[in-house]
Amino acid sequence: MDPFVAGLPKCELHLHIEGTLEPELKLELARRNGVELPYGTVEEARDAYRFDSLSSFLVGYYESMAVLRTEPDFYDLALAYLARAAAQNVRYAEIFFDPQAHTARGVPFDVVIRGLRRALLDGERLHGVRAQLILCFLRDQSAEFAMATLLESLPYREWIVGVGLDSDERGNPPEKFAAVFARARREGYLLTMHCDVDQENSTAHIRQCLDVIGVDRIDHGVNALDDPELAAEIGRRGLALTVCPVSNGFVTDGPKADVIRRMLDLGLRVTINSDDPAYFRAYVAENLDVVRRELDLTRDELVRLERNAFEAAWLPRAAKDAYL
Ligand code: ADE
Ligand code: ZN
């Protein structure tokens, strides 16, 4: 790891808390909750999980969540992430959570959010990392389930900064959730959506994010550059793109570093993030280091990537300025 990358103050904007479940904690939670797993050691747990596409990744991803049952489980998960983040000099993080992946198997919404919220408060106190939550809807579930989840979130409105859209993109375009996101906007949530790398209809999905949904940010979005007019519009709106190079390398042919270079050259607000670091074995510093090596980035360019992220953070101006 490059020492400059290691020491750089960082901001992480694309991080699924369920994707931080390391095999050690998975085994511990399985024991605690009496959940049977098809493996007994950390090595077996890592080996059992092979994938080469977004869909095959997501199958094992949701299966692993069976060990998350109680409020302390969600607390332990998030606090462990924040301790790791602090060790990489992450100062601020926006953290996705997937409530439907838990409520669908009988874990109440309030168990999930109370555990996460308590970890965020303790994470800032113990580790000095500030963090906020983004509720993600599962796009391969119905719009009705998403709307019901949005309504379920409203008593906790003050604990959630925005909403996102994740899971399997194939056949699940942004416009499927237009009414849900319109309501979320009226409730005061900020809006983002995944437009995963090299999906069917990628540019059409990004276009819908702009014209139908009116997003405040785009998660991944690397295919925006396939359409110069789309890329120009993202630039005009100053929308941030939360790119996850190591994740992209797992589900496509590589980390898409050339696209990151072109985004930088176009002056787009590109940011570097980790997505599901326990599964892709790379937290944000490792992701930055991959891009540094691939593109031979200068220190100024590395600083620019982190400034882009702090600038794009869903924080009041004065709080952002404190980091910049
Ligand atoms: N859920 C967790 N990681 C994801 C990803 N990279 N794309 C879509 N949904 C996800
Ligand atoms: Zn993601």
> Which residues, listed in sequence order, are joined to residue 240 by a DSSP beta bridge?
217, 269
Half-sphere exposure at residue 231, Cβ-oriented, CA atoms within 13 angstroms: 17
Per-residue pLDDT at 27:
95
Closest C-alpha to 150, from 193, 192, 100: 100
Q: One digit per residue, pLDDT tens: the chain, 324 residues? A: 999 999 999 999 999 999 999 999 999 999 999 999 988 899 988 887 778 788 888 988 999 999 999 999 999 999 999 999 999 999 999 999 999 999 999 999 999 999 999 999 999 999 999 999 999 999 999 999 999 999 999 999 999 999 999 999 999 999 999 999 999 999 999 999 999 999 999 999 999 999 999 999 999 999 999 999 999 999 999 999 999 999 999 888 899 999 999 999 999 999 999 999 999 999 999 999 999 999 999 999 999 999 999 999 999 999 999 998
CA distance readout (Å), 79 to 161, 206, 320: 19, 33, 23
Dist. CA 41–CA 54, nearest whole Å: 25
Per-residue pLDDT at 192:
98
Of all ligands present, the nearest one to the C-alpha of 170 is 1
Ligand 1 in reach of 196 Cβ (< 6 A) = yes
ipTM above 0.85, yes or no: yes
Distance 321 CA to ligand 1 centre (A): 30
Q: Are 136 and 165 in contact (CB under 8 A)?
A: yes
Of all ligands present, the nearest one to the C-alpha of 168 is 1
Q: Please indicate if the annotation marks 2 as binding a ligand.
A: no
Distance 49 CA to ligand 2 centre (A): 18
Which CATH topology does 3-323 take? TIM Barrel (3.20.20)
Three-state SS string over the chain comes to CCHHHHHCCEEEEEEEHHHHCCHHHHHHHHHHHCCCCCCCCHHHHHHHCCCCCHHHHHHHHHHHHHHCCCHHHHHHHHHHHHHHHHHCCEEEEEEEECHHHHHCCCCCHHHHHHHHHHHHHHHHHHHCCEEEEEEEEECCCCHHHHHHHHHHHHHHHHHEEEEEEECCCCCCCHHHHHHHHHHHHHCCCEEEEEECCCCCCHHHHHHHHHHHHCCCEEEECHHHHHCHHHHHHHHHHCCEEEECHHHHHHHCCCCCHHHHHHHHHHCCEEEECCECHHHHCCCHHHHHHHHHHHHCCCHHHHHHHHHHHHHHCCCCHHHHHHHC
Per-residue pLDDT at 285:
98
Q: What is the pTM of this model?
A: 0.98
Distance 158 CA to ligand 2 centre (A): 23
Ligand 1 in reach of 16 Cβ (< 6 A) = yes
